[in-house]
Amino acid sequence: MRPLYIIAAATLVLTGAGCKKYLYKDPIGLLTPDQVNTDPKLNTVTSAVRSSYQMLSSTFNLLGQWDWTAGTVLRNDFILQDIASADMQKKWNPDGDQAWMDEFSSFNFTSANGGFNGQWSYDYEGISRANMAISYLTDQQLTAKIGLDETLRKRLLGEVYFLRAFYYFELVNNFGDVPLLLKPLKSFQDAYSVAKRESKANVWTQISKDLADAKGLMPNSKYSDNTEKWRISKGAVLALQAKVALYNQKWTDVISIVNELDGLGYYDLNANYFDNFSIAKKFADNEVIFAYNHVSGQNPRNGNGLCAVMGWGFIAPTTDFLNAFEANDPRLLYTIDVTNQASYKILGETGTGNKGNDDAASCKVFIRYADVLLWKAEAYNESANYPEAIKLINKIRQRARTTVTATGTTPPAGTLPDRNTASTDKNQVTDWLMKERRTELGFESQRFYDLKRWMKAKQVLMALGKNFQDKNYLYPIPQGEIDKSGGTITQNTGY
């Protein structure tokens, strides 16, 4: 029996003929309705929280089994964000393998493209799991009965509030108005009642509420759990609050929230750029704020599937992306080694030992401090405080030029010189900021989001020969979701 939220989120169809049999299987880690209807135990509740993280993973086949056309083999960030942004192309040697991915580089997709279904499925599955965990953790009678410590209850509740906010952050930025599910669905009537799109303004409001609730529940420490450092922390909550403010152009809020984050004293730029991604430095660095912890040798498997697809020839740079780096910038080789056709940032090591390994232990980094500093620089620039904006851009450049390269050398003198701090030209500072974000955060699935929120996507991508149209500022709602909802879920304009 599959969870009823699927009807409303339309991740899978309950009655549709012709679906593959494996689509009806419960994804790994999912609490099934049969489990929900039994008497929950302490392990049921803590497992519900842990499973809410799982849709952040790049592990293979969390939803179904090898259904590439449905876009559910692994998370689609590298397709919907990196390929779409013209930083990445599907393969080093173009071929017909998974041709649906190529449609993102040319913007000739339709709403039936599986990439949209994959994004939708992962996010709504994550929301469903978070809702189940929230329902347990807010049931005082239940938590008392199972003997859940109150301090632990609050922390776990803060974690799943954050996760629900994060999944909705992805949905609203990709699709605009989306169904808003805030509790487990217990009947077909419940499911159909929420199978409709809520305004993006209301979705943003809910995201902000969840983050505010999470903030008040998280402990005042760098790691919310010192034995499981991968868990959501107060720093992660503040960082996502700042990012929400950034995407809504609330510049004063961005600055004040980042100042509050700085006040914790937990984060700084790593001396070496690659420490953000190194398996050897995992959760022992100064910069990573929010990441998914892939772990090798687990059952069920919990490795980084992106390393495997790299071994199949996927994840290649565009020429335009390579040309974006200034001379001798050490970040280039860490991001993509053209000779060995490998991204060390994804592999988690400066070698190719994990290339082709679907069980690699490299993390998926979602937020790190360099990104946060560039948000603050952008807010300063938009507030006409150009000296502070440029100072932060230069801080990022200074770390880059003092990073030991992937080959063990030191960048030569004159690499990545400081930007002119005397500039008062907003357009010039904006250009510097855009360039810095592209090279600093390359292959981290940020570029397309940036181009869209800056309203630069059409200008930049059409100049590269891409068929980007105004409608593409939002992706289409997966056509299957519209069909299965009987039309109560409507399509975005132009699709």
215, HSE (Cβ side, Cα atoms, 13 Å) = 16
| Within a domain: 459 | no
Question: Contact 315/343 with Cβ under 8 angstroms?
Answer: yes
Q: Is 57 helix (H, G, I), strand (E, B) or coil?
A: coil
| Within a domain: 298 | no
Question: Contact 239/261 with Cβ under 8 angstroms?
Answer: yes
Q: What is the pLDDT along the chain (495 residues), one digit of tens a residue?
A: 233 344 344 333 222 222 232 333 444 444 445 545 467 899 999 999 999 999 999 999 999 999 999 999 999 999 999 999 999 999 999 899 999 999 999 999 999 999 999 999 999 999 999 999 999 999 999 999 999 999 999 999 999 999 999 999 999 999 999 999 999 988 777 877 889 999 999 999 999 999 999 999 999 999 999 999 999 999 999 999 999 999 999 999 999 999 999 999 999 999 999 999 999 999 999 999 999 999 999 999 999 999 999 999 999 999 999 999 999 999 999 999 999 999 999 999 999 999 999 999 999 999 999 999 999 999 999 999 999 999 999 999 999 999 999 999 999 999 999 999 999 999 999 999 999 999 999 999 999 999 999 999 999 999 999 999 999 999 999 999 999 898 899 999 999
DSSP annotation of 405:
P
| Within a domain: 346 | no
Q: Is 328 helix (H, G, I), strand (E, B) or coil?
A: coil
Question: Contact 194/181 with Cβ under 8 angstroms?
Answer: yes
| Within a domain: 89 | no
Domain coverage including residue 63? 1-74+106-217+477-495
The C-alpha atoms of residue 108 and residue 173 are separated, in whole angstroms, by 20
| Residue 204, domain CATH | 1.25.40.890
| Within a domain: 262 | no
Q: Per DSSP, what are the bridge partners of residue 360?
A: 304
What pTM does this model have? 0.93
At residue 32, what is the residue type?
T
| Within a domain: 179 | yes
| Within a domain: 247 | no
Q: Please state the domain count of the chain.
A: 1
| Within a domain: 202 | yes
Distance from the Cα of residue 305 to its chain's centroid: 15
